[in-house]
Amino acid sequence: MTKFLGVATDEPTVASLSFTEAPADKVTSIYRINVTLSPAQVAANTTAEQTFTVAGVRVGDVVYVSKPTAQAGLGIVNVRASASNQIAVTFSNNTGTPITPTASEDYQVGGIR
């Protein structure tokens, strides 16, 4: 059985969300940041973590990223807040040739604190 905890709201800002079944866990911020990233080439048949500056991200945040375009054989398999104002994105190349992610794309970075 799936349980959904918290509240739904159409308010533009919410100060915090509390979960009654886990009082120690409190969501204090949900954010979305637009950032232009230019990742480096990813070697064939491998995964590679690359770091990027994203102002406002903190260690401990639950972070996700959305690449605006699809590229055959290229995937994002992990993202994390590796330092204050920095994310680490792990790219996966599932082909036999190197792939360079499209340069200077506007990625969506979201997070929960």
Cα separation, 65 vs 91, whole angstroms: 11
What gap in Å lies between CA 92 and CA 9, rounded to an integer?
Answer: 36
The answer to whether domain 29-112 has CATH 2.40.30 is yes
Domain segments of the chain as ranges: 29-112
- How far does CA 108 lie from the centroid of its chain? 8
Whether the pLDDT of residue 15 is over 70: the answer is no
Whether pTM exceeds 0.75 = yes
Give percent above pLDDT 70 in the chain.
78
Euclidean distance between CA atoms 64 and 54, whole angstroms: 12
